[in-house]
Amino acid sequence: MPGTDPLLLDEISLLLVWTAVAIYVLAFIAYAIDLARRSDLALKAKDQIVARELVTAGGGGVISSGSGAPASASSAKPRYLWARLGTVLTALGFVFHLVATVLRGVAAGRVPWSNMYEFALTGLLLIIAVYLVVLTRYDLRFLGSLMTGLAVLLLGGATLAFHVEVVPLADPLKSVWLVVHVFVASLATALFALAFGLSVVQLIQTRRERKLLDGPTDAETKRSFLRTVPNAEALESLAYRFAIVGFIFWTFTLIAGSIWANDAWGRFWGFDTKEVWTFVIWVLYAGYIHARATRGWRGTRSAWLSIIGFTAVLFNFTIVNVFFKGLHAYSGLTT
């Protein structure tokens, strides 16, 4: 009896994962439509303000109740209905995703991050969670399609390619460091992901800004969601803020990992493949932070480093886990 229980739980969990993926697909679509429509809305909103100001000016003392000015101020900010729908859907998908992850943990009787499938499950859960939390402070919904797109691709892909039954943990994994080290690494990944998204948009925005500076107003009238997005400098400093928090977590991951390695394998550091890549990523982001402070490197070049850094993170998670030989053979996939 206790043997069938976990299997059933895992099956339910899997069903929920697919539901979450489906909802993320819908969220992705909503966000994509939002991006496509944004410039229109922004233009219209601008027109509206202009129109209202004209009305107020022309109407003399007609609007004197005091409600006029605040009303125009609040409607000046266009309301992105599709983006809002996208966020609602993302949050809904997140709930399913969360329950699925918890169930997987219950089925396994341990934390749900100890093989490739579970790393993906928890890692993407954190990416979406960080994204949703950040939304309460900054309007980053223009990253919505990127984030949900990432979730759909990686979560769907990982579930197809990496899903394995719940099996007992291998001895080296039975450690509190599994809980701490892997969780913090996933958290760092989530922050790097957000920084990555912002850096990508920053690059596109920089291109647009440069065109605006160069050419006549031809580009200005071109409709693009970019006109509703913060300028490149703001994007860059936001990306930087997420990246440095991620970097702190990654530094901690590195330290916690070597303490664990010392317990499990009797040495802090041995340049095992996974250790090499953790180090490479750390150095890349240290480079990114330096680049931000180096004349001639701030802006586009440092944005590229953020992108390269996150590419290395993804590479570390996918290719290194599956194809590289090493002590960290915990993908749970038998070769």
Partner 1 sequence: MTDPLRPSDHADSTSDEVTQPRLGVVGWLRWGWRQLTSMRTALVLLLLLAIAAVPGSLVPQRTADPNGVTQYFTDNPDLAPVLDKLSLFDVYSSPWFSAIYLLLFISLIGCVLPRTKHHWKALRSQPPRTPARLSRLDDHRTRTIQVDADTDAVAAAAVESAAAQLRKSGYRVARYDSRGSFSVSAERGYLRETGNLLFHGALVGVLIAVGVGGGFTYTGQRVLVEGQAFSNSLLDYSSFNPGRFVGGDTLTPYSMTLDKFDVTYVPPGQPGSGQAGNFVAHVTTQTPGGDAQDGEVRVNHPLDVQGDRVYLLGNGYAPTVTIRDADGKEVFHDSVAFLPQDANMTSLGVIKVADGLPQQLGLLGFFYPTMDVLDSGALTSTYGALEYPTLTLRVYEGDLGIDDGTPRSVYTLDPSKMTQIAGGDSGNPAIQLMPGQTEDLPNGLGTITFENEAPPGAVGYEQSVKRFASLSIHRDLAGPWVLGFALLALFGLLAALFVPRRRMWVKATPRDGSVEIEYAGLARGEDPTLAAAVDQLADKHGATLPSQSHPDTGKVD
Residues that bind ligand HEM (CB under 6 A): 286, 289-290, 293
What DSSP designation does 170 have? P
Judged by CB, which is closer to ligand HEM: 48, or 251? Answer: 251
- The residue type found at 222 is K
Judged by CB, which is closer to partner 1: 227, or 241? Answer: 241
How far apart, in whole angstroms, are the C-alpha atoms of residue 23 and residue 91? 9
How far apart, in whole angstroms, are the C-alpha atoms of residue 41 and residue 153? 29
**Interaction partner, residue 304 (ligand HEM, partner 1, none; CB < 5-8 Å by kind):** none
How far apart, in whole angstroms, are the C-alpha atoms of residue 260 and residue 172? 9
Cβ-based neighbours of 164, under 8 Å, separated by 6 or more: 115, 116, 117, 332, 333
How far apart, in whole angstroms, are the C-alpha atoms of residue 121 and residue 158? 8
Nearest distance, CB of residue 335 and partner 1, angstroms: 12
**Interaction partner, residue 263 (partner 1, ligand HEM, none; CB < 5-8 Å by kind):** partner 1
For 47, 66, 294, 310, the CA distances from 181, given in Å and listed in that order, are: 52, 56, 32, 19
Nearest distance, CB of residue 174 and ligand HEM, angstroms: 33
Judged by CB, which is closer to partner 1: 83, or 256? Answer: 256
**Interaction partner, residue 233 (partner 1, ligand HEM, none; CB < 5-8 Å by kind):** none
How far apart, in whole angstroms, are the C-alpha atoms of residue 295 and residue 248? 24
Report the length, in residues, of the chain.
335
Torsion of CA 186, 187, 190, 194, to 10 degrees: -150
Nearest distance, CB of residue 57 and partner 1, angstroms: 24
Burial (CB count <10 Å: 0-12, 13-18, 19+), residue 227: middle
Nearest distance, CB of residue 197 and ligand HEM, angstroms: 22
For 40, 46, 228, 305, the CA distances from 50, given in Å and listed in that order, are: 15, 6, 17, 41
Nearest distance, CB of residue 280 and ligand HEM, angstroms: 12
Residues that bind partner 1 (CB under 8 A): 3, 6-7, 165-172, 174-175, 237, 240-241, 244, 247-248, 251-252, 255, 258-260, 262-273, 276-277, 279-280, 283-284, 286-287, 290-298, 305, 320, 324-327
Nearest residue by C-beta to ligand HEM?
A: 293
**Interaction partner, residue 266 (partner 1, ligand HEM, none; CB < 5-8 Å by kind):** partner 1
Judged by CB, which is closer to partner 1: 85, or 280? Answer: 280
Nearest distance, CB of residue 289 and ligand HEM, angstroms: 4
Judged by CB, which is closer to partner 1: 55, or 176? Answer: 176
How far apart, in whole angstroms, are the C-alpha atoms of residue 47 and residue 280? 50
Cβ-based neighbours of 314, under 8 Å, separated by 6 or more: none
Nearest distance, CB of residue 290 and ligand HEM, angstroms: 6
- The residue type found at 224 is S
Judged by CB, which is closer to partner 1: 10, or 34? Answer: 10
Nearest distance, CB of residue 211 and partner 1, angstroms: 25
Judged by CB, which is closer to ligand HEM: 84, or 290? Answer: 290
**Interaction partner, residue 68 (partner 1, ligand HEM, none; CB < 5-8 Å by kind):** none
Judged by CB, which is closer to partner 1: 7, or 133? Answer: 7
